[in-house]
Amino acid sequence: MRKLLVMDKKIVFITGISRGIGLEIAKCFVNDDYFVIGTSRSPFRINEELNSESCIHFIMDVTDREQISSCFNELKKINKIPNVLINNAGITKDQLFLRMKEDDWDDVLNSNLTSVFNITKLFIKSMVRHRYGKIINISSVAGLMGNPGQVNYSASKAGMGGFTRALAKEVAARNITVNCIAPGFIETDMTNHFQDEELENILNQIPANKMGNPQQIADLALFLASSKGDYITGQTISVDGGLYMS
């Protein structure tokens, strides 16, 4: 009987799974026969939401290194160390820079950028040892073009791009890819609050003249996690209807 290789074990770890893009990514991966490990700060009925038993949820704060370590140890006990890591969790605390509080800066940088270091540092060790892995960081077009009132958020997402490129160069020879997906305006809970005038102004900036949907982000994540994405690494791929063109 052929020994099961690590790349045959389809196990994905997704942070920020309880809604929006994270939840859609989880549904996409579980439908492709992945075992899905999801995290969020609050309780979440993952089996009901994904309609599957091939998943498990951990309540975890991505800024808390002790909680991350505890989660990792639990996964070792049940032999579910992932070979695909998706850093999706993030927050916004928007404010004009002159009015931005120090805590608003610290919280956003810690949640959006330092968390990526915290989690990747633990899980990449197994990938290096097995010479296989996929790391996908969910960034934002704000990290490429900047947004007024989002100096903290834009900086955190731009930092994620630098993190991705540098790490990709370090681990490419180990058959590990590291990429960013930079969504533009996507229809989620975070965009539902726009008033009609605000929405019209946004759509006028997008050549496609429409918002994207979480499924489009999930489909790209699944592609990058598959063997079809083996020769793509160190990239930030925008999914934004043409809002930002480099």
In this structure, the strands spanning 11-15 and 55-59 are unpaired
Question: Whole-angstrom distance between the N-terminal and C-terminal Cα of the chain?
Answer: 50
Q: Is 132 a catalytic residue?
A: no
d(CA 21, CA 154): 18
DSSP 15: E
Alpha carbon separation from 80 to 27, 37, 183, 194, 219 (Å, rounded)? 18, 9, 29, 40, 23
Let me know: does 183 contact 217? Beta carbons within 8 Å. yes
Closest C-alpha among 170, 6, 138 to residue 81: 6
In this structure, the strands spanning 55-59 and 176-183 are unpaired
Q: What is the DSSP string of 33-68?
A: TPEEEEEESS---HHHHHT-SSEEEEE--TT-HHHH
Quote the distance between the C-alpha of residue 178 and its chain's center: 11
Q: Which amino acid is it at 190?
A: M
DSSP 210: S
What are the two backbone dihedrals, phi and then psi, of residue 15, each rounded to the nearest 5 degrees? Answer: -90, 155
Q: Which of 34, 132, 153, 231 is catalytic?
A: 153
Residues assigned a catalytic role: 153
